[in-house]
A = this chain, B = another copy of it.
Amino acid sequence: MPQLGLLHGRAWASLLGKLLRPPGAVCIGAVHSHSQGQRSMWVAEAVLVSQLKPHQEKSNFIIKTPKGTRDLTPQQMVVREKILDLVVSCFKRHGAKGLDTPAFELKEVLTEKYGEDSGLIYDLQDQGGELLSLRYDLTVPFARYLAMNKVKKMKRYHVGKVWRRESPTVVQGRYREFCQCDFDIAGQFDPMIPDAECLKIMCEILSGLQLGDFLIKVNDRRILDGMFAVCGVPESKFHTICSSIDKLGKMSWKDVRHEMVAKKGLAPEVADRIGDYVQCHGGVSLVEQMFQDPRLSQNKQALEGLGDLKLLFEYVTLFGIAEKISFDLSLARGLDYYTGVVYEAVLLPTPAQAEEEPLNVGSVAAGGRYDGLVGMFDPKGHKVPCVGLSIGVERIFSIVEQKMKTFGEKIRTTETQVFVASPQKNFLQERLKLIAELWDAGIKAELLYKNNPKLLTQLHYCENMGIPLVVIVGEQELKEGVIKLRSVASREEVAIKRENLVAEIQKRLSES
């Protein structure tokens, strides 16, 4: 299985210095007290006192990125590019097509899709025209696309940013702007085959990224609803109790129980019955056991869900990933639109981590079946069943960056292969001719933007930037019709005929 080369060997970089530093906030403003000059103000949070007046007297204006957002540095971009390449390769390996949708949607498109989280949607200002909102995930736009174009069958992936007005817990790595990587299969098929493929994809990606051991929890919304019914939860409370159960990863059962009883008005004995179920997790044998459960086996919905899970276990066994899958009755998933199987991949903590943070197990991928969402957009309510998954790449980026810190090694942020240098003055013209030749041959090359840089400055630049080769042109070389080719690592230099230079460089690069 393809793996993330980045995580092996000596390529780990110490990114975390930059990463853990809170997004740089620099004060652009200054208080102009007439005689004393400027007094800089440094503050952590921005208060916009007045507008920036360029070229004129500046007022207090903190230059920063918006709350909960950040710039991605070249180092971070390199890590992201490698991780996203691995994820997208996997999606393509499974036959997915690419799709892109606008960053914003008509406000109505997002309405009533996200349950209690709808308040986190960013709206655009009404500047005359349509009411718009920034997309909250990639699933609802996908469903809108299917309905709008009457597409009945599609396997697509989508990598893009989404925006949520979360309370800023940037420290925990939650941002208001973040990247999602989704894979979804739309269409009416025989049960559980696409669902099992989604689990296989999650396994391939998490194994490929080498993040450590992981487990995929699986449940089914119909089993949850059946469980609520047989425990005595009134149907009107299914959604809200489901939201409470969803918090079990982050909160203890005691706190969740308290929320259900005190805040949501559930009878204590009903909560306790639920409590018995949600402690259950296991393999296919737990599915069999639930089939025999005196209460659950009386509920039609629960039986349907259990039947599908049994089939799912059969397929993941054929895929060779059964040992990664755990049927977990506490898994709920927050989003309103799920209708069948739901799943969530968590990294398994090392024993030390488990002791430190017993609850925060860290979901890194999740998804489920949503058979009703497309129908919500269709004039006649025609349904297109869908199942999909989302890779929690932001969390994965942080983990990888953290690991790179541990390895403490530098990562290259450019790919330059050759540097064009001269030891003498007045060789800019030769350097420019030479570098154009390299660029035209597809070779990645740089020079210093100076008329007469010192040779040492040029060689230091190569060492700092990790550029492996230097071509050097000077008076002697020009006279002899040669160019010196220097290996930065070994400091070896050889003279090469000018007309053979490109071929020799290409040979060296293909060997390395």
Q: How far is the CA of A200 from the CA of B131 in the complex (A)?
A: 43
- In the bound complex, residues from chain B placing their C-beta under 8 Å from that of A126 are 125
**Range class of the A interface residue count:** 35 or more
Residue of B nearest to A75 (CB): B97
Choose, from A45-53, A234-242, A277-285, the stretch at the interface: A45-53
Contact A67/B319 with A200-B439, A446-B95 known, Cβ cut-off 8 Å: no
Interface flag for A2 (CB, 8 Å): yes
When the two chains form their complex, are residues A61 and B129 in contact, meaning their CB atoms are under 8 A apart? no
Interface flag for A70 (CB, 8 Å): yes
Interface flag for A433 (CB, 8 Å): yes
When the two chains form their complex, are residues A66 and B415 in contact, meaning their CB atoms are under 8 A apart? no
Q: How far is the CA of A177 from the CA of B440 in the complex (A)?
A: 33
Residue of B nearest to A320 (CB): B436
When the two chains form their complex, are residues B71 and A101 in contact, meaning their CB atoms are under 8 A apart? yes
Query: Which residues in chain A, 345-383, are within 8 Å of chain B measured between CB atoms?
Result: 372, 376-381
When the two chains form their complex, are residues B71 and A100 in contact, meaning their CB atoms are under 8 A apart? yes
When the two chains form their complex, are residues A376 and B66 in contact, meaning their CB atoms are under 8 A apart? no
Shortest A429–chain B CB gap in Å is 6
When the two chains form their complex, are residues B439 and A48 in contact, meaning their CB atoms are under 8 A apart? no
When the two chains form their complex, are residues B100 and A77 in contact, meaning their CB atoms are under 8 A apart? yes
Query: Which residues in chain A, 300-319, are within 8 Å of chain B measured between CB atoms?
Result: 315, 318-319
- In the bound complex, residues from chain B placing their C-beta under 8 Å from that of A436 are 200, 318-320
- In the bound complex, residues from chain B placing their C-beta under 8 Å from that of A433 are 318-319
Contact A102/B48 with A379-B29, A436-B320 known, Cβ cut-off 8 Å: no
Residue of B nearest to A65 (CB): B102
When the two chains form their complex, are residues A63 and B98 in contact, meaning their CB atoms are under 8 A apart? no
When the two chains form their complex, are residues A98 and B125 in contact, meaning their CB atoms are under 8 A apart? no
Contact A99/B72 with A48-B106, A105-B65, A131-B48 known, Cβ cut-off 8 Å: yes
Interface flag for A124 (CB, 8 Å): yes
When the two chains form their complex, are residues B54 and A112 in contact, meaning their CB atoms are under 8 A apart? yes
When the two chains form their complex, are residues B38 and A442 in contact, meaning their CB atoms are under 8 A apart? no
Interface flag for A416 (CB, 8 Å): yes
- In the bound complex, residues from chain B placing their C-beta under 8 Å from that of A290 are none
When the two chains form their complex, are residues A449 and B124 in contact, meaning their CB atoms are under 8 A apart? no
Interface flag for A149 (CB, 8 Å): yes
Residue of B nearest to A441 (CB): B1
When the two chains form their complex, are residues A66 and B104 in contact, meaning their CB atoms are under 8 A apart? yes
Query: Which residues in chain A, 102-130, are within 8 Å of chain B measured between CB atoms?
Result: 102-106, 108-109, 111-113, 122-127, 129-130
10 A-B pairs with CB atoms under 8 Å apart are: A52-B108, A52-B109, A52-B377, A63-B147, A65-B102, A65-B148, A69-B102, A77-B98, A95-B446, A103-B177
Apart from A74-B99, A77-B97, what 4 extra A-B contacts exist at CB < 8 Å? Answer: A30-B380, A63-B144, A94-B445, A319-B433
